[in-house]
Structure 1
Amino acid sequence: MTSNRAELARTLRRARGRVRPEDVGLPGGVRRRVEGLRREELAMLAGISVDYVVRLEQGRGPHPSEQVVASLCRALRLETEERDLVFRLAGLEPPRAGLIDLHVRPGVLRLLDRFTDLPTMLLSAKGDVLAWNAASCALHGDWTTLAPERRNHARQAFLPDPSEPARTPAGGPPEERLAARVNVVAGLRSAASRYPADPDLGRLLDDLRAGSAEFRELWDDGVTGVWRHRTKTLDHPVVGPLTLECDTLVVPDVDQTLHVFSAAPGTPAHDALALLLVVGTQQLSGSR
């Protein structure tokens, strides 16, 4: 398929101008010289360099990969039809049926935005963290500091990278931490049964098998079953251990899930979470 760099550049610039910073959890400010997102902000959200964004918007540079185009479309909150247009302008086939859907509909993002005081993130069928709110960054660590392929639960659980900024580690007794990793493996087994031809899922499973003896053992054990509700403990570096309820809301037509963390009012965890959201979101705003 032939690319159309000039039209791709115009489409990306128009889309960037439509997205307000507050739409994607960034501080708006009052002295902005551009409508919509800055190039630096789009680059951060998409996990690519600012120079790459500049070259794309100027119609030059290398042809973007499927992963880059998908990340840009998510960051720009494009509807499905416009996402497909961007893929074709980049000389790529739009995602086809039978593959894991990594695109996030704007309506789902608006739903996520409503959870202002509850850490919430949206996951793909293979555990990619596709979208999140500021409260999730305050609880888990800033997702924008990770490369897109590293925003994946299985990679974080079984293939840790010491060079990355520290994440909030799982807490609780050893059996709780093991149960959480077993659930990750069970989710991937379920995804593999539904998407046997998905190449990205295949690469993820190959990487996990090659890099983690624990993953190989759990996979070979044939673990199954995926949680929709669980209690999870996180050892946060600021407020200490937090035991929270995590409820999973399913977006069935795209096989994506919203994971919402909360605590019952009047509990120590509720008070600690409220403090964390104040301190954590202030730190995020100040670092941008």
Structure 2
Amino acid sequence: MDKRELGAFLRARREALRPADVGLPELAGGRARRTPGLRREEVAGLAGVSVNYYERLEQARAPRPSPQVVDAIGRALELSEAERAHLSRLAGHASPARPGGAEQVPPGVRVLLDRIGPVAAYVCDAGHDILAWNDFAAALITDFGALPRAERNVLRLAMRLGGTACSAHPEAAGGFEAQAAAQSRAALARRPHDSALRRLVGEFAERAPGFAAEWRRHDVRPRATLRKRVDHGELGVLDLDCQTLDVPGADLRVVMLSAGPGTLAHDKLTRLQLRLAAPDSVRRP
């Protein structure tokens, strides 16, 4: 059980919840609320636990809550499925994942990368390391195979490239930082002893104020789709859709960059695909 993370997560989710979301009045005792979100006693009442116990949970002083109490607090805070799973892990009711570096890319996922068409796709693990990619991703983003193994990492690439190669679309500013923070929070709950990921998060937070701000929000909700802007040396600026799919049975995700048919970006991607001399193939470290 990670008492400090549990308390911080509960506090963040409580402060993010509006009273109206749970059927409570916006006024507290006839007066305007001094702080955002719910009060501790309101969450305790909704969850059916004592105010003292809930306060001690947020203060990292309470013993481990039972699965029933965790479930009740999750309902009181209107947590999503991903947030409830995260809460359960922080409370010590889920088995930790295998140590980082143990994941292998399933053969079927490698075949998908090879056959996916005019889509740039790569596979990441929980620590944001890029484990496999197709030629289209290498041609569109960067030549991953030419990078040192330690630099084949989404966050390290963001720091090295300064966000100029593949950044959040202006209409979705902060989307990448929010997604990276949520993924990292969830991963560290699954892998509490992953010191490499913890160091990476600290380094990225120092370099990216947007990520640091999102990290403090303790948000772990997944974002399956983002808008990305790629500034390609030959094709120019492309506004793309970025989808993320989790790999069943593995702590891996597939990230895909594509464009809708009929768009200028799609036409450019098609030209890039035709220009590649060899068929798409998966490159391996």
Read off the aligned partner of 2:244 and give its amino acid letter.
T
Identity of aligned residues (%): 32
Q: How does 1:238-253 map to 2 (within 5 A)?
A: 238-253=234-249
Aligned to 1:187: 183
Aligned to 2:232: 236
Q: Does 1:139 align with 2:140?
A: yes
Q: Does 1:125 align with 2:122?
A: no
Q: Does 1:172 align with 2:169?
A: yes
TM-score by length of structure 2 reads 0.56
1:215–1:172 Cα change, 3 Å: closer
Read off the aligned partner of 2:127 and give its amino acid letter.
K
State the Cα deviation string for residues 21-56 of structure 1 (Å, max 9, x = none): xxxxxxxxxxxxxxxxxxxxxxxxxxxxxxxxxxxx
Asked if the contact 2:97–2:190 (Cα under 8 Å) also holds between the matched residues in 1, the reply is: no
Larger radius of gyration: 2
Aligned to 1:261: 257
Read off the aligned partner of 1:121 and give its amino acid letter.
Y
TM-score by length of structure 1 reads 0.56
Q: Distance in 2 between matches of 1:263 and 1:214?
A: 26
- The counterpart of 2:267, out of the listed 247, 271, 281, is 271
Asked if the contact 1:123–1:130 (Cα under 8 Å) also holds between the matched residues in 2, the reply is: yes
State the Cα deviation string for residues 121-168 of structure 1 (Å, max 9, x = none): 1111222111000000111111112212211112222x3268xxx972
Q: How does 1:76-225 map to 2 (within 5 A)?
A: 98-100=98-100, 101-157=102-158, 159-160=159-160, 168-170=165-167, 172-173=169-170, 176-209=172-205, 211-225=207-221
Asked if the contact 2:174–2:210 (Cα under 8 Å) also holds between the matched residues in 1, the reply is: no
Read off the aligned partner of 1:152 and give its amino acid letter.
N
Asked if the contact 2:228–2:242 (Cα under 8 Å) also holds between the matched residues in 1, the reply is: yes
Read off the aligned partner of 2:215 and give its amino acid letter.
W
When structure 1 is superposed on structure 2, of 120-129 and 217-226 the one drifting more is 217-226
Structure 2 gap ranges (5+): 1-95, 281-285
Which structure has more RCO (C-alpha within 8 Å, separation ≥ 6)?
Answer: 2
Please, what is the CA RMSD of the aligned residues?
2.9
Read off the aligned partner of 2:145 and give its amino acid letter.
T
Q: Distance in 2 between matches of 1:191 and 1:239?
A: 35
Q: Report deviation, 1:209.
A: 4.4
1:213–1:263 Cα change, 3 Å: closer
1:283–1:242 Cα change, 3 Å: farther
Read off the aligned partner of 2:119 and give its amino acid letter.
L
Aligned length: 184
1:183–1:97 Cα change, 3 Å: closer
